[in-house]
Amino acid sequence: MVNFSLEGKVALVTGASYGIGFAIASAMGEAGARIVFNDRNPDLIEKGVAAYRELGIEAHGYICDVTDEPAVQSMVAQIEKEVGVVDILVNNAGIIKRIPMLEMSAEDFRQVIDIDLNGPFIMAKAVIPSMIKKGGGKIINICSMMSELGRETVSAYAAAKGGLKMLTKNIASEYGQYNIQCNGIGPGYIATPQTAPLREIQPDGSRHPFDRFILAKTPANRWGEAADLAGPAVFLASDASNFVNGHILYVDGGILAYIGKQP
Ligand code: NAP
Ligand code: GCO
């Protein structure tokens, strides 16, 4: 029988107090995993633990910035002591800065690359040694449409997410021999705080132009919900995907397949 269960596994989802990370971690908890998450902000850890508890999930929250390698190393050591070896890592934490490239400072560019690309590298480096000792593991990197496409104002984010796609393939290549599968999930346009500015109702009560644009580009004719990512994430975290490696699974309602509805 195909095994989608995560019973007995420890899943660490970064930046999972809310949004996509919370939805993915909740689904992994429902599939039997013990849930661990981190965030930079202590208040969010508290709110996150309470939100998981409301779903019947006793999650373990840790305050940690994914770009701080010593802090990440010490958090993973603490998790291994307090919860267990990390079997599943979801690199979800990420930011976006929507600034036209010529107006973007090098500092802003570096900050996006640091969190969205260096962070997943630092996190993967911290968990892989114990995965090897344990005989295997799963790493899921949350990529993006911008791992494949560009658009105005998201140069740093697209560079980071394009890099994250290749980091995914490289981890798969370098550590597949240790029964570690590293794959990506490429969400389409999902209704979360990160995309709220793109969906704001206009002063005249009409939809945001970008909102209308995305609906015309999406065969499903809707924005995705964080919950749409839960099943693909559980699949990639489970034994059902043990021969899937280096793959980016786009969960986008068909955007990447579609030229877009004629205006
Ligand atoms: P979100 O609502 O902005 O949540 C991002 C989470 O990451 C927050 O909990 C945030 O916590 C945390 N975070 C940010 N920087 C961090 C750091 N340095 N260390 C630890 N935690 C940090 O974003 P989302 O929409 O859920 O997106 C989650 C992931 O999916 C991101 O990687 C994003 O790029 C990707 N994605 C989103 C969409 C979409 O349409 N929403 C589509 C494709 C891909 P703080 O509150 O402390 O910042
Ligand atoms: C944007 C959006 C996108 C989504 C997502 C699409 O400004 O274009 O924020 O980047 O967040 O990454 O997959």
Q: What is the pLDDT of residues 75-87, one digit of tens each?
A: 999 999 999 999 9
Q: Specify the 3-state DSSP secondary structure of 118.
A: helix
CA of 205 to the centre of ligand 2 (A): 23
- With a cut of 50, list the residues of the chain below it in pLDDT: none
Residue 103 lies in a domain: yes
What is the per-residue pLDDT for 214? 96
Is 250 one of the catalytic residues? no
Residue 4 lies in a domain: no
Residue that the structure tokens 């209704």 belong to? 191
Q: Is 253 left (phi over 0), alpha (psi -120 to 50) or beta?
A: left
Q: Is 193 in the pocket of ligand 1 (CB under 6 A)?
A: yes
Residue 80 lies in a domain: yes
pTM above 0.95? yes
Q: Is 112 in the pocket of ligand 2 (CB under 6 A)?
A: no
Residue 211 lies in a domain: no
Residue 214 lies in a domain: no
Residue 216 lies in a domain: no
Residue 153 lies in a domain: yes
Provide the residue range defining the domain that includes 184: 10-190+225-257
Residue 213 lies in a domain: no
User: What are the structure tokens assigned to 155, written together?
Assistant: 């140069």
Where would I find the beta strands (DSSP E) of 29-161?
34-39, 60-63, 88-91, 137-142
Convert the pLDDT of each residue in 171-202 to its tens digit: 999 999 999 999 999 999 999 989 999 999 99
Cα three-residue angle 166-170-175, rounded to 5 degrees? 155
Domain count for the chain: 1
What is the per-residue pLDDT for 2? 81
CA of 65 to the centre of ligand 1 (A): 12
Q: Is 96 in the pocket of ligand 2 (CB under 6 A)?
A: yes
What is the per-residue pLDDT for 263? 83
CATH of the domain at 167: 3.40.50.720
